[in-house]
Structure 1
Amino acid sequence: MLERLFPRRAPSPKPLPQPNAQLALGALLVRVAMANRQYVAAEVAQIDKTLAATFGLKPLEAAKLRAECEALERHAPGTPEFTQILRDEVPYADRKALGDAMWAVAMADGRRDDDEEVQLLAIETALGLSDEDIAAARKNALDGL
């Protein structure tokens, strides 16, 4: 009865963290995985693996970072803002490796998906990767199927 008289207020949402290279990469990985509107366990595991390897994190730390990146991806600005952070903070060779990591996430479910490939091309282009490097990353990922 008290609930009806004094309904609980929804808690105020926490402010989103200011994106840095870790959060920007994680959010882009999540964005690629969700491009086809399916977010499967294999993609989640690949994102965690990529975050752990890239930033030297333990599995639990990588999972926590991914969870934060999922929230950021849902409510944050578009791809250009994330890629600009990475272009500013990450050398080209490492951005090229990020492109490869994004392909690994997209292919983690063992299927090609046009929506994921379109999202990947947009991200790779925004990261400033060359056409040759984009084509090589795509070929390597698709050869692995």
Structure 2
Amino acid sequence: MFQKIQRFFDQMIVMRDARGGTEISLELATAALLCEVVRADHSIAESEIVAMEAMLKRRFSLDEQALDELMELAREESEAAVDHYQFVRLINEHCSFEQKFELVRAMWTLAYADGEIDPLEEARIRTLSTLLFLSHSDFIRAKFAAKPE
């Protein structure tokens, strides 16, 4: 089991976590930010978890075991994080504008997954969008791109 987890991280872009030397991958940073949106309204709907799993599985081509490990690690990192800096920094360093826009669109998709946008979810997405250096118009464009029809 330990070897599988080690291989999982060896295959990803990583950076040192300021808390204690834990390695943070691009995949983990993305998943942790998505967790932040899911947790923003203090109510985690099953539809949000299902949507997040589908996004991560598709985006990073993960098998079920790797997906389960990533989801658990992301939940732990999101709950333990004092701020978003470690996650945002890695994404800003390694992702293009288009990738960051798609991440914000994915955040909106998660916010819509339970059928309603909570003001706390919107505020969290707005904060993360700003930290990812997206403009307000990109924030709004991502919201409309993710809105279910």
Please give the range of the TM-score, normalised by the shorter of the 2 chains. 0.7 to 0.9
Cα distance in 2 between the residues matched to 1:59 and 1:98: 21
Shift of 1:139: 2.2
Correspondence 1:32 to 2:61? no
Aligned to 2:53: 48
Q: What TM-score do you get using the length of structure 2 for normalisation? A: 0.80
1:47 positional shift: 1.0
- SS for the counterpart of 1:39 is coil
The answer as to whether partners of 1:46 and 1:108 remain within 8 angstroms in 2 is: yes
Counterpart pick for 1:128 among 127, 133, 136: 133
In the TM superposition, residue 91 of structure 1 has moved relative to its aligned partner by 1.3
Task: Look up the match of 1:111.
Answer: 116
In the alignment, structure 1 segments of 5+ residues that lack a partner are 1-14
Pairwise CA distance, 1:40? 1.3
Which residue of structure 2 lines up, in the alignment, with residue 12 of structure 1? none
Taking structure 1 as the reference length, what is the TM-score of the superposition? 0.82
CA gap 1:133/1:20 in 2 versus in 1, 3 angstroms: same
The answer to which structure has the higher strand fraction is 2
Equivalence for 2:91: 86
Asked whether the 8 Å contact 2:106–2:146 carries over to 1, the reply is: no
Match of 2:67 in 1: 62
Question: What's the counterpart of residue 27 of structure 2?
Answer: 22
Shift of 1:74: 0.9
2:146 is matched with which residue: 120, 141, 144? 141
Q: What displacement does 1:16 show?
A: 7.9
Paired residues, number: 130
Q: What is the match of residue 101 of structure 2? A: 96
* CA spacing shift, 1:26–1:65, aligned 2, 3 Å: same
Q: 1:77 & 1:85 partners in 2: Cα distance?
A: 16
Code of the residue aligned with 1:123 in structure 2: it is L
Structure 1 runs of 4+ with >3 Å offset = none
Cα distance in 1 for partners of 2:132, 2:145 equals 19
Partner SS for 1:19: strand
**Cα deviation, residue 30, structure 1:** 0.6
Distance 2:109 2:102 in 1: 11
Deviations 1:43-67 (A, max 9, x none): 1111111111111112342232111
